[in-house]
Structure 1
Amino acid sequence: MRLNNFSKSIIVLAIPAIIESLLQSMVGFVDTLFISKLGLKEVAAVGISNAILQIYFAVFLALGTASSVFVSRYNGVNDEKSVKVIATQSLILTVIIGGIFGAISFFFSEQLLRVMGADKEVLEVGTTYFRMVATPSILISMMYTIGAILRGSGDTKAPMRVGVQMNIVHFVLDYVLIFGVFFNGLGIEGAALASILARLFGVILLLRHLWLNDFITSNLKNWKIKINVIKDLVRIGLPASLERLFMRFGQIIYFGMIIRMGTEVYAAHTLAGNFTIFASVIGTGFATATTTLVGKSIGAGDIESAKKYSVSSIKLLIVSMTFMLFIVYLSSPLVSPIFTKNSIVIGLITSVLLIDVITQPATAIVTSLTATLQAGGDTKYPMYITAIGIWTIRTVGVYILGVYFHLGLVGVWISIGIDNYIRAILLILRYRSFRWIKKLN
């Protein structure tokens, strides 16, 4: 594929974000490998806990998206004062929301796991793990918001550098605390503690970068809540949050169906999901670059450049994500036995990864155009089509194909693919109408 200047700009900005996301995913990959050595019930416990955390991430990511959209717009007109106001108010809102989710996690961890369909065996190991990793949700929310602020300003290298350091710390702590060095390992609780300490380390480094680059100050006057700014952030962030929440709550429903198919099936679903991360990180990196460049172009009044960035993003994502997933699929028969010797699990992983290769072009379009529409200030439309897709296509499809017709995990992933293709078509139609370019205030 021949690269124009718009594609090159996206790639330059996306590469650090991809590297950062890849490193985070590698730690998650290794984390899963370590935990898989403890047993399948531990893998299932972490998988269910992470499914709940995905709901938290949806809200935190949406707030980060709103922050990034405003920062990129103000950066387009070189309004540094407004960028600082957005950074400060975003952090205030982040601490409040992170604190609320942390309290919910501490008091209702067991109930949340029960809602997910965890059986008694999984519940025993999962409750403590989830309470440990989710109670300090402020750390998670701050990482999302600070990273989004920096990326929205066009700085994807600083979050990458912090990500490298944080993930090295996470990797070392993971091994030491799970298996032990000169002491008995803590098992799954050690994995939770490693995540907490690594996130704390990352937040400290990110806050330091904001401070040194004058995004935030110690002047208490700057930390007063500005209701109008908070409202603007919520106005843009709430639909983005609901879009992701519709997705996650739908996942809770069909995750429950998968769990009831058996531990082997759910373990295969969890491990396959970890393998697909290698394509997802590419999507995340390019989506970050797309939001920043489209938002900056719109802020500067250059609508034509915004359109060209979005088209280039779509092409780059289709090629790169599909190619990466194809490589993952080809290597899965060799890699899967590292995680489990269960032949049923290995066979399921290979089967569903082939389905996901076929789905990747649609996934790429959804990823790119969602980022484009959100950069344009149109966060409601992706919310609507996600709600329709997840509840009327994906969840129903999982039941019909996976449960009623007994296709199991294969039916689940076919339903996911159908949902992605329909949403891709709807997003293309919205993009071509150009009604997604809106004023933010």
Structure 2
Amino acid sequence: MNTPAQQAGARQATRFLLLYALAWAGSAIAYVPFLTVLLPLRVTDMAGSADVRVLGYLTFGGAIFASVANIAFGWLSDRTGNRRIWVATGLVGTIALLLAVQLAESAIMLLGLLLVWQVFLNMMMGPLSAWAGDCVPDSQKGVLGGLMAFAPAAGAVTSALITMPGLAGPDGRLWLVAGIVAACVLPVLIAGRPKPFPELMSDTLGGPAEAVDSTKPVKRMWAARLAVQISEAALFAYLLYWFRSIDEGMTDADIARTFAFVLAAAVPLALLSGRWADRAGRPIMPLAISALMATVGLMFMSLAQGLLFALAGYILFGLATTVFLSLHSSQTLRVLPRARHRGRDLGIFNLTNTVPSLIVPWLTIAVVPAFGYPVLMAILAGLTLVASLLLASTSRALRR
């Protein structure tokens, strides 16, 4: 059984999908260069030898504020019925606070600015993610997910661009990021005129999911994403250390190039996978397959004795998880049962992005000193395998 929109073959305008994907990439550009490059450099200049401890406090506090703000502003955009105004206000605040970082003269001031910046960033991102659920029909959610794969690549490319020698100083880099973010997000706010889909605003979950308890797919999707995000966060934080445990000659530049290659190569894979999912009517299956491929990659990494085998395992893992996270973001919109709580519920899903940063350090401390990185990789492989099994069962349930 299909929704009325699907029966009529209704489709959202490609122009809006492209503008939305550009805005989503802009949201990634708003935080990736800042959190991974600009903020750590600012903290080092300010705190000196205490930079690791200060950055830890900033990261922890930022994760808490981001989690709460994403849920709160998703809920507020549900209540007001206007996503655009919240995205616009969040954009203005995000840019203003980003530029204000150059005024911080102490770690306390920097912490305060970072926390307020996280509030505005999630004021923009929470309603923006829910906006797609309001106006992109299920028949295009795979393509939407593929387009969203450009976001992490855009963040990485921007990080590389703004740190080019001689391009700009520390304060100039903040202005560059602010300008790029505005250029990406403003077009959808000004010119984005999506076709309305009243069916998507219904509080009754349509399609095959009516045959199952509507909360089960949501819980499985949430748990699967959390499992994959823990694995991804662990690799993101400790990748250089792991590679150097395999080959001491591995440099941070080598890691950066490998990471950039993975993000770039994942974009066409995500687009193809999403398009196949739309045409085949199997929206969850690419997620299950991607999680399984991540498991294989992690097992390669666990068993790796040389650099080539280790690189092959990481590239497979990186490609699989990038495709997974992009498609999962769009397909989550399919299983949420209540349109009037869409923004709030997506905020709860966003916890899968922030909670891993609280789990991974303790997991790594408990495992690596006693058992080494191979055991950590095996544990992470177990998590992604659980995610694959959860999603495979969800896929079967939704097709009944």
TM category (shorter chain) comes to 0.3 to 0.5
Normalization by structure 2: what TM-score? 0.46
Normalization by structure 1: what TM-score? 0.43
